[in-house]
Chains A and B, each alone.
Chain A
Amino acid sequence: GQNIDQPTEMTATEGAIVQINCTYQTSGFNGLFWYQQHAGEAPTFLSYNVLDGLEEKGRFSSFLSRSKGYSYLLLKELQMKDSASYLCAVRGNTDKLIFGTGTRLQVFP
């Protein structure tokens, strides 16, 4: 079967760095996405990885290791507005996009 695992909840302090992990087992691999979703709102795209390595985009970076079925999202210089759920999603061999259940991040002052 296909499975995506990520922690349910994490907490961090404003200004700190936090790493949100995602492990996946899918039939094939055609890309991994990270989305941010604030409570009651639609998910918004953060990053995309298809090759191994680190993709950096401002305060956010995403890493992928295809051999390990592993990715992480790194958030630097945390701000209060970063409190949200972070969704890991993988596209396997089919055209379906499989989402993890999301990691709810709470940032405290």
Chain B
Amino acid sequence: EAQVTQNPRYLITVTGKKLTVTCSQNMNHEYMSWYRQDPGLGLRQIYYSMNVEVTDKGDVPEGYKVSRKEKRNFPLILESPSPNQTSLYFCASSPDRGGSTDTQYFGPGTRLTVL
């Protein structure tokens, strides 16, 4: 089944404790992206990647890191989480750039709480 998977789905942690949220897609997609979703603010892009070893900042990259060493994986790293990073996080992938094939497929989401 074609899908985007994220782990963990739910996480409660404390300020300053490094964490990684994994994202994997099995559709051989070039483009992957991370978003956070907060009430009243909608989906905001954190980082995106056009291909292996190519990553770029989105609109809200502060406090996050990503890597793209393999095409299928795009982990999100919080080196020192803070309470303002409490949010719902979505990973997404799309086949390529441009046109209707630019449609993004979203993972199920990771609800993160930082105490």
B42 touches A102 (CB 8 A): yes
Is the beta-carbon distance between B43 and A42 smaller than 8 angstroms? Answer: no
Asked if A97 is at the interface of the complex by the 8 Å CB criterion, the answer is yes
Q: How many A-B residue pairs have CB under 8 A?
A: 56
Please, which residue of chain B has its CB at the minimum distance from the CB of A50? Answer: B99
Contact indicator A101/B48 (Cβ below 8 Å) = no
Q: Interface residue tally of chain B, by bracket?
A: 20 to 34
CB neighbours of A40 from chain B (8 A): 109
Q: By the criterion CB–CB under 8 Å, are A95 and B48 in contact?
A: yes
Closest to A101 in B: B42
Taking CB as reference atom, which chain B residue is nearest A97?
A: B45
For A41, list chain B residues within 8 Å (CB).
108-109
Residue B20 at the chain A interface, CB threshold 8 Å: no
Give A48 to B45 CA distance when docked, in angstroms. 19
Chain B residues, CB < 8 A from A42: 90, 106-109
B56 near A: Cβ within 8 Å?
yes
Interface string of A27-42 (1 = CB under 8 A from B): 0001101000000111
Show the binding face of A for B, using Cβ within 8 Å. Answer: 30-31, 33, 40-45, 48, 50, 87, 89, 91, 95-102
